[in-house]
């Protein structure tokens, strides 16, 4: 797929797969086209050419999409006056999901003790956890996360790595966009590297030093 904004080619003839049962690191420096690509996957931006699919189906054609794809593109789109519980309950009702899901996802992301606190008082790390809880409401088989480690302290980073590793081991697909290789290399099974909107490398990740050097070259 490709995407142009006027004369700017943000994504240029990009193609890759995200395997099930694996954590795929989507790597590239800031401005490489990662977020535009994720937005095309989720149907928020139409490709100039080409197409994307989740389990073989374009996102727009998915029945009950929250039960197929959970996404976190930003951790700031919350009403500050709502509590975490109220936010998740509103999302659950809108999606027609079971009433038990709110408590379950709050526990999954370790926000149970903060469930009734106003989101306006949350740290960025807590907002990241709440965004992930929102993505998990439908028990999706695919997670699409854009820079999910932003705002997390070292303890939060360890928790996130363990959570994503476990989610993938349950047979789900996890696509994690980041510009920091060290944030993901401990758990990545598959790596996609882009620069200037173009694919530079895609394939399994086994700690290959040459791949790390390639990314350092791409990242400048």
Cα distance between residue 92 and residue 97, in whole Å? 5
Query: What tokens were used for 27?
Result: 């790597």
For residue 48, pLDDT over 90 is answered with yes
Give the β-pairing of 69-72 and 142-146: parallel
Domain boundaries in the chain? 3-68+140-219, 79-139
For residue 214, pLDDT over 90 is answered with no
Could you give the dihedral angle defined by the CA atoms of residues 210, 216, 219 and 220, in that order, rounded to the nearest 10 degrees?
-130
Q: Is the dihedral of CA 20, 23, 28, 31 positive or negative?
A: positive
Of 23, 64, 13, 17, the closest CA to residue 168 belongs to: 23
Of 25, 13, 62, 48, the closest CA to residue 175 belongs to: 25
Residue-level pLDDT at 121: 94
Kindly state the percentage of the chain with pLDDT values over 70.
97
Cα distance between residue 202 and residue 104, in whole Å? 35
Residue-level pLDDT at 211: 74
Query: What tokens were used for 57?
Result: 């189906």
Q: How many CB atoms lie within 10 A of CB 90?
A: 13
Grade residue 114 by pLDDT with cuts at 50, 70 and 90. Answer: very high
CATH superfamily of 3-68+140-219: P-loop containing nucleotide triphosphate hydrolases (3.40.50.300)
């Amino acid at each position: 797929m490709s995407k142009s904004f006027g004369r700017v080619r943000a994504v240029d003839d990009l193609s890759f797969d995200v395997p099930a049962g694996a954590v795929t690191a989507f790597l590239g420096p800031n401005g490489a086209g990662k977020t535009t690509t994720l937005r095309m996957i989720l149907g928020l931006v139409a490709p100039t050419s080409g197409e994307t699919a989740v389990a073989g189906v374009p996102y727009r054609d998915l029945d009950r999409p929250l039960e197929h794809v959970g996404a976190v593109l930003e951790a700031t789109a919350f009403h500050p006056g709502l509590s975490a519980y109220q936010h998740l309950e509103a999302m659950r009702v809108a999606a027609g999901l079971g009433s038990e899901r709110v408590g379950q996802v709050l526990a999954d992301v370790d926000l149970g003790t903060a469930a009734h606190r106003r989101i306006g008082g949350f740290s960025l790390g807590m907002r990241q956890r709440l965004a992930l809880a929102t993505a998990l409401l439908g028990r999706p088989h695919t997670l699409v996360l854009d820079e999910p480690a932003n705002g997390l302290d070292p303890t939060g980073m360890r928790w996130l790595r363990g959570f994503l590793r476990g989610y993938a081991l349950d047979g789900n697909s996890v696509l994690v966009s980041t510009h920091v290789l060290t944030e993901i290399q401990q758990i990545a099974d598959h790596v996609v590297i882009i620069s200037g909107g173009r694919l530079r490398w895609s394939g399994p990740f086994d700690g290959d030093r040459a791949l790390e050097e390639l990314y350092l070259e791409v990242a400048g």
